[in-house]
Structure 1
Amino acid sequence: MKSEIEIRDKKIGEDHPILITAEVGVTCNYDLEMSKELIDVVNESGADAAKFIFWFPEEIFSDKTVTYSYQTTDGKVTENLYETAQDFQFSLDEWRELKNYADEQGVILFSTIGSPSGIDYAEELDLEAYKLSSWDFNHHPLWRRIASMGKPMLIDTGPVNTLEVAKVMDIMKEEGNEKSVLVHCFHTDKYGGMNMRAIPYMREAFRTLVGYSSKDQSTETDIMAVTLGATFLEKRLTLDRDLPEHHHAISLEPSEFDEWVDLIRNVRKAMGIKDLRPSEADLEERKRWFNHLVADQDIPKGTTLTREMLAGKRPEKGVSPEYMDFFLGRTVKKDIEYNESISWEDV
């Protein structure tokens, strides 16, 4: 798989800024104006993208009685998911309007695709990347069709194992698509089950880019993901946690999202590169606090230098004390005062 891919003008790879995405696939409430406001938040925060979901309930659910429970600020709610998903849809014209708006704001819009009609919509809108849900991992015909498009595939892993990932990566290779980002995610509140080391493991095992989909408002694992090599990061965003419907209660509000984006950018910058390269500030401090070779007593001209006559003292402005042994046994050419620097020319 490629070690660097591009979505629009954003390069994704270990040597590039993290692609930061707002997860709004449910928290947009499939209200066009609310969706535009969320895109505005993404733009103003300095994040890169907004990720929606194409819901086609008839193509997704065979069991139309399945329920889903989630928390709101007013307590737990349980709903029929098939019926709820009927309201989670835009017409193709509305999607066009939203995509055009995102383009105008400089925000990449892409979507989770979980059905054939979702692929059709994505291609009609000319989306620049596909997000694939954990729950569609064994839907190989869907994967093969998406892989054949040749666009970047951001792939949630969630409940799958190494063999299952290997199968879909083979499908991508068979279709000539090497633009993958394996996205670590989980559905647990127990730290012992979060397994953040899956991020470097997937990078090494599948030689692919890796990312992380954050579950809620906490930041501990987000920071871990950055330091473990994530090149893509996704965080839930809402306009107001008190809104009804799914996921608002566990999402960041706009001001919090702004702060979070700054946090992630700063963590990534602080990681630096795999090398020892002191900062400019460190190098300035070095001049003040490193040592240089000085006389530890008055030394008359013609004296043969011994260890007791020399010392290393601050600041760093002459010969390093690491070369002290060079001077031992040599004769000084001039009078040298106590604490005076000793140079190569003095012996």
Structure 2
Amino acid sequence: MKHEIQIRNRKIGENNPLFIMAECGVTCNYDIKIAKDLIDVVHDAGADAIKFILWFPEEIMSDKSVIYTYETLEGTKSENMYEMLNKLRFTLDQWYEIKEYADRKDVVMFATVNSPSGVEYAEKIGLEAYKLSSWDYNYFPLWEKIAALGKPMLIDTGPVNILDVTKVIQLMQNQGNEQSVLVHCFHTDKYAEMNMRTIPYLKQAFNTLVGYSSKDRDDETDIIAVTLGSVVLEKRLTLSRDLPGHHHVISKEPEEFQEYVKLVRNVRQALGDYNLKPSPADLAERKKWFRHLVANRDIPKGTKLISDMLEGKRPENGISPEYIDFFVGRQTKRDLKYNQAISWDDI
């Protein structure tokens, strides 16, 4: 798989800036003003992208009686899932308007697509990348249709195993699409089950770019993800946790999201190079606190030096004390004062 991909004007890879996207697939409440305001938040925070979901519940649900339960600030709420998803939709004209607004704000816009009509809408809108959810791994017609488009595919993992991932990666390659980002995600609250080392494992096992999708507004695992090689981060964003609907309560609000972007970009920068490379500040401090060779007492000219006559003291300007054995046994050519730096010409 490719080690660098491009979504619109953003290059994604180990040698490129972290690609940060806001997950707004339900928190936009499918209100056009909220969607545009969220795009503004992404732009102002310095993130790269916003992700929605193209919902067509008729095409993904056979049982329309399923009840979905979620948390809000006011407590647990349950809704008929089909009816709930049916309300989380924009018309095609509204999608055009939102995409045009995102383009003007230089925010990459793409979507999770889980149905044939979703692919049709995404192509009409002009989305530059696709997100594939954890729940669609065994629906190969969808994968084949999207992979054949030749666009980047950001792929959630979650409940799948290594064979499931192998199948869809092979499917992509069969379609000539090598633009994958495998995105580690999970649906557990237990730290011992989060298995963040999946990230480097996926990178090595599939020779692909890797990312991480955070399940809530906490940041510990996001930091871990960056240090383990994620080049893509997805974080939930809402305008307010008071808004009706699900996922708001586990999402960042605008100021929090802005701080989050700063945090993870700083973490990425702090990783640096696979090397031992002192910073300019460390090198400046070295000059102050490393030692140089000095006389440990007044030493008359013509004295045969012994080790007790020499010492290493700060700062660094002079001969390193590591050469003290070279001076022992040699005679001084001039008088040396206590704490005076010793030079090669003094013996």
Question: For residue 106 of structure 1, what is the aligned residue in structure 2?
Answer: 106
Determine if the alignment matches structure 1 residue 29 to structure 2 residue 25: no
TM-score, L = length of structure 2 = 0.97
* Structure 1 position 326, deviation (Å): 2.1
Q: What does residue range 157-176 of structure 1 map to in structure 2 within 5 Å?
A: 157-176=157-176
Alpha-carbon separation, structure 1, partners of 2:16 and 2:319 = 40
Alpha-carbon separation, structure 2, partners of 1:306 and 1:9 = 68
Question: For residue 317 of structure 1, what is the aligned residue in structure 2?
Answer: 317
Alpha-carbon separation, structure 1, partners of 2:152 and 2:33 = 28
Aligned amino acid, residue 268 of structure 2: R
**SS of equivalent residue, structure 2 residue 264:** helix
Alpha-carbon separation, structure 1, partners of 2:105 and 2:262 = 19
Q: Bigger CA drift: 139-148 or 129-138? A: 139-148
Question: For residue 116 of structure 1, what is the aligned residue in structure 2?
Answer: 116
**SS of equivalent residue, structure 1 residue 86:** helix
Q: Deviations over 1:120-141 (max 9, x none)?
A: 1111122111110000011112
Q: What does residue range 186-205 of structure 1 map to in structure 2 within 5 Å?
A: 186-205=186-205
* Structure 1 position 317, deviation (Å): 0.7
Aligned amino acid, residue 44 of structure 2: E
Q: What does residue range 85-234 of structure 1 map to in structure 2 within 5 Å?
A: 85-234=85-234
* Structure 1 position 283, deviation (Å): 1.2
* Structure 1 position 185, deviation (Å): 0.6
Q: Deviations over 1:253-277 (max 9, x none)?
A: 1111111111111111111111111
Question: For residue 333 of structure 2, what is the aligned residue in structure 1?
Answer: 333
Alpha-carbon separation, structure 1, partners of 2:13 and 2:337 = 57
Alpha-carbon separation, structure 1, partners of 2:345 and 2:103 = 67
Aligned amino acid, residue 209 of structure 2: L
Alpha-carbon separation, structure 1, partners of 2:168 and 2:311 = 66
* Structure 1 position 170, deviation (Å): 0.8
Aligned amino acid, residue 105 of structure 1: K
**SS of equivalent residue, structure 2 residue 87:** coil
Determine if the alignment matches structure 1 residue 257 to structure 2 residue 257: yes
Question: For residue 67 of structure 1, what is the aligned residue in structure 2?
Answer: 67
* Structure 1 position 92, deviation (Å): 1.3
Determine if the alignment matches structure 1 residue 53 to structure 2 residue 53: yes
Q: Deviations over 1:4-32 (max 9, x none)?
A: 21212222112222111110000000000
Alpha-carbon separation, structure 1, partners of 2:266 and 2:187 = 27
**SS of equivalent residue, structure 1 residue 53:** strand
Q: Bigger CA drift: 275-284 or 152-161? A: 275-284
Question: For residue 19 of structure 1, what is the aligned residue in structure 2?
Answer: 19
Alpha-carbon separation, structure 2, partners of 1:334 and 1:2 = 68
* Structure 1 position 173, deviation (Å): 1.3
Q: Deviations over 1:237-292 (max 9, x none)?
A: 10110111111111111111111111111111111111111111111111111111
Alpha-carbon separation, structure 1, partners of 2:273 and 2:132 = 31
Question: For residue 272 of structure 1, what is the aligned residue in structure 2?
Answer: 272
* Structure 1 position 155, deviation (Å): 0.4
* Structure 1 position 344, deviation (Å): 2.1
Q: Deviations over 1:161-220 (max 9, x none)?
A: 011101111111111111111001111111111111111111111111111111111111
Q: Deviations over 1:52-100 (max 9, x none)?
A: 0000111111111122110011111111111111111111111111011
Q: RMSD of the alignment, in Å?
A: 1.1
Q: Bigger CA drift: 27-36 or 215-224? A: 215-224
Q: Bigger CA drift: 322-331 or 180-189? A: 322-331
* Structure 1 position 320, deviation (Å): 1.2
Aligned amino acid, residue 159 of structure 1: P
Structure 2 stretches of 5 or more lacking a match?
Answer: none
Alpha-carbon separation, structure 1, partners of 2:181 and 2:87 = 30
Alpha-carbon separation, structure 1, partners of 2:179 and 2:329 = 66
Question: For residue 5 of structure 2, what is the aligned residue in structure 1?
Answer: 5
Aligned amino acid, residue 258 of structure 1: Q
Aligned amino acid, residue 344 of structure 1: W
**SS of equivalent residue, structure 1 residue 144:** helix
**SS of equivalent residue, structure 1 residue 338:** coil
Aligned amino acid, residue 304 of structure 1: K
- Percent identity over paired residues: 64
Question: For residue 290 of structure 1, what is the aligned residue in structure 2?
Answer: 290
Aligned amino acid, residue 119 of structure 2: I
TM-score, L = length of structure 1 = 0.97
Alpha-carbon separation, structure 2, partners of 1:192 and 1:156 = 20
Q: Bigger CA drift: 269-278 or 99-108? A: 269-278
Alpha-carbon separation, structure 2, partners of 1:232 and 1:139 = 25
Aligned amino acid, residue 27 of structure 2: T
Aligned amino acid, residue 32 of structure 2: L
